[in-house]
Amino acid sequence: MGRRSAAQEAGAVGGAVPAQAGHREGGAGTWPEIRLPDNTGTDERIRGFGADPATKQPLKPVSVDRVDWTRSDARSLLEECLKDSKWRKAILVRSERLKFWPGGFKAVGDAVVNCTGSPVGRSVGWSQTVSTTHGLTLSASASVGFEDVLTASFSMSYSVSWTMSKTFTDTTAVTVPSRHMGWLERSPTLQTLEGEIWMLLDDAKTALWGTATITGQATDGRPEGMLVAKERRLSSDEEKKWCTTRQEHVPVLPAALVPMLDGTTTTPRD
């Protein structure tokens, strides 16, 4: 079975929450799932050095070697160059394609427990940070250099800037039925860049390249994620635990507890 879309997931768990001001939330719509890059500028730099970006063969008396950037020796070389602004200019990411997909739904706000006999409305504040991930374990200083390289290369190939980390924060109104627990979950729209990392070492007349896969928040203007309201009936144990003090009681549970409390009893909202 293939991966379900954000819209399909939302239908399985309950109501999608309307977009808040300043957020681009919603389904995938008609946006493309794959974008191909314009590598004209990137390829000019590689050819200018003396290598053919298509065949990975030399055009001049230079050595073109493939490396595995995840190996300790290659990663160490890459890290040292990323820390030095002079050598950092010799590194670039050459894109092959950009894939878009919905990330998994995760709890992003506190859970509201309705112990009353009527539906209860509450404003729930929520926050989600989406960070870039890749297969390289880089030091903090090298990661800053890699951010510079990735942002410059991505802008060159797609005319859009890459965002290494983005935090979404808002307050959303939810309505929880009597004797139910309700909370919010969000699925970020992610983009995965597939391509190559090139290092053009002029002094050594050597070009090193290796494949790379990098995932982060989608930045091309499509909806940035989907927010859904989830709810389920309280178990008898939960009612005894949270609802015996006062019948008209609406406790709020920390967001960190939601994944542990969300079992397999989730039911869609009517």
Domain that holds residue 213: 6-261
Q: What are the pLDDT digits (tens) for 215-241? A: 999 999 999 999 999 999 999 998 888
Is 234 domain-assigned? yes
How are beta strands 206-217 and 63-66 bridged, if at all?
parallel
Is 25 domain-assigned? yes
Is 268 domain-assigned? no
Q: What are the pLDDT digits (tens) for 81-104? A: 999 988 899 999 999 999 999 999
When the pLDDT of each residue in the chain is averaged and rounded to a whole number, the result is: 85
Tallying the residues shown for the chain, one arrives at 270
List the one residue out of 248, 267, 112, 266 whose CA is nearest residue 174.
Answer: 112
Is 266 domain-assigned? no
Q: How far apart are CA 147 and CA 164, in angstroms?
A: 7
State how many domains the chain has: 1
Is 48 domain-assigned? yes
Higher pLDDT, 130 or 8: 130
Whether 146 contacts 214, CB under 8 Å: no
Q: What pLDDT score was predicted for residue 29?
A: 62
Q: What are the pLDDT digits (tens) for 3-25? A: 333 333 333 335 555 444 445 67
Q: What are the pLDDT digits (tens) for 136-195? A: 999 999 999 999 999 999 999 999 999 999 999 999 999 999 999 999 999 999 999 999
Is 183 domain-assigned? yes
List C-alpha distances in Å: 96 to 118, 125, 133, 137, 267.
Answer: 55, 39, 18, 22, 41
Query: Does pTM surpass 0.85?
Result: no
